[in-house]
């Protein structure tokens, strides 16, 4: 074997070694990026569902608390009507003494009724935390009393949307990384076809760089 033959053999052997390493690297990088893509997609899906369910929650709680609020306002309004009627009975012009006496007594009855009805309305407004057999979702849905009560629901939805955007970004980068792996795999195949030599080494080098960029691109999603 001449010196040139030995050198060519060593070069070919080295080329094949790197080719084998890159074939394995393609498989590993592709699997890794596919996992990152899958993991990001999972996170994004769950976060989007969380955001959607938070939106549903807002509507359900506002929709369910509305009738309760309306009832409570109406009950207080009824006592106001009774009180107003009691006053109106006194101030109204009455032609006879009997009618005046009856109106005065009815006014007293209206006033007393208004007071007791208000007590009842206040008792009905005071809801305990729950009831036997009542599910938590239904019990929670009638607790919205003001804009401040709705705020945590909006925040929860926005947090889920932000989470979905973050995972979406990761997924996009992992997908881009997979695209680069495909290009890298093509270059590895091309290098294999060309064989050892200047062109083959260049193709192999380009494949290695492409795979490295693919990995860095995918991993950069984790920084989001």
Restricted to residues 155-184, the positions that interact with another protein (CB under 8 A) are none
- Please, which residue, 124 or 209, has the CB nearer to another protein? 124
Q: Which residues of 197-224 are buried (b: 16+ CB within 10 A; e: fewer)?
A: eeebbebbebbbebbebbbebbbebeee
In the set 84, 87, 91, 124, which binds another protein (CB under 8 A)? 124
Count of H-run helices and E-run strands, the chain: 5, 0
Minimum CB–partner distance for residue 155 and another protein (Å): 19
In the set 3, 91, 133, 193, which binds another protein (CB under 8 A)? 133
Rounded distance, CA 184 to CA 115, Å? 83
Told to check if 222 binds another protein by CB under 8 A, we report no
Nearest C-alpha neighbor of 113 from the set 67, 72, 75, 73 = 75
Minimum CB–partner distance for residue 46 and another protein (Å): 6
In the set 84, 90, 92, 127, which binds another protein (CB under 8 A)? 127
Minimum CB–partner distance for residue 127 and another protein (Å): 4
Minimum CB–partner distance for residue 131 and another protein (Å): 4
Told to check if 194 binds another protein by CB under 8 A, we report no
For 12, the token pair is 């070919």
Minimum CB–partner distance for residue 16 and another protein (Å): 4
In the set 42, 80, 154, 222, which binds another protein (CB under 8 A)? 42
Which range of residues in 41-49, 87-95, 156-164, 213-221 is near another protein by CB under 8 A?
A: 41-49
For the window 64-93, what string marks contact with another protein as x by the rule CB under 8 A? xx-xx-xx--xx--x---x-----------
CB 198 within 8 A of CB 26: no
CB 44 within 8 A of CB 164: yes
In the set 94, 113, 182, 195, which binds another protein (CB under 8 A)? 113
Name every residue whose Cβ is closer than 8 Å to that of residue 181 and which is 6 or more positions away in sequence: 26, 29, 30, 33, 210, 211, 214
Helix %, strand %, coil % of the chain (to 5): 90, 0, 10
């Amino acid at each position: 074997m001449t010196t040139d033959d030995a050198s060519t053999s060593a070069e070919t052997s080295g080329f094949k070694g790197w080719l084998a390493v890159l074939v394995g690297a393609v498989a590993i990088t592709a699997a890794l990026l596919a996992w990152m893509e899958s993991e990001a997609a999972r996170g994004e899906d769950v976060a989007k569902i969380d955001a959607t369910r938070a939106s549903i929650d807002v509507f359900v709680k506002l929709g369910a608390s509305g009738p309760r609020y309306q009832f409570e306002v109406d009950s207080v309004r009824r006592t106001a009507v009774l009180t107003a009627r009691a006053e109106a009975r006194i101030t109204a012009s009455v032609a006879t003494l009997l009618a005046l006496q009856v109106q005065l007594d009815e006014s007293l009855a209206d006033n007393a009724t208004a007071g007791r009805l208000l007590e009842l309305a206040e008792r009905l407004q005071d809801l305990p935390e729950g009831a036997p057999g009542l599910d938590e979702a239904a019990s929670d849905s009638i607790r919205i009393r003001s804009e401040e009560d709705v705020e945590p629901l909006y925040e929860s939805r926005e947090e889920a949307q932000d989470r979905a955007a973050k995972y979406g970004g990761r997924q996009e980068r992992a997908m881009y990384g997979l695209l680069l792996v495909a290009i890298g795999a093509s270059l590895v195949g091309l290098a294999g076809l060309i064989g050892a030599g200047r062109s083959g080494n260049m193709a192999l080098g380009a494949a290695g760089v492409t795979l490295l960029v693919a990995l860095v691109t995918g991993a950069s999603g984790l920084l989001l």
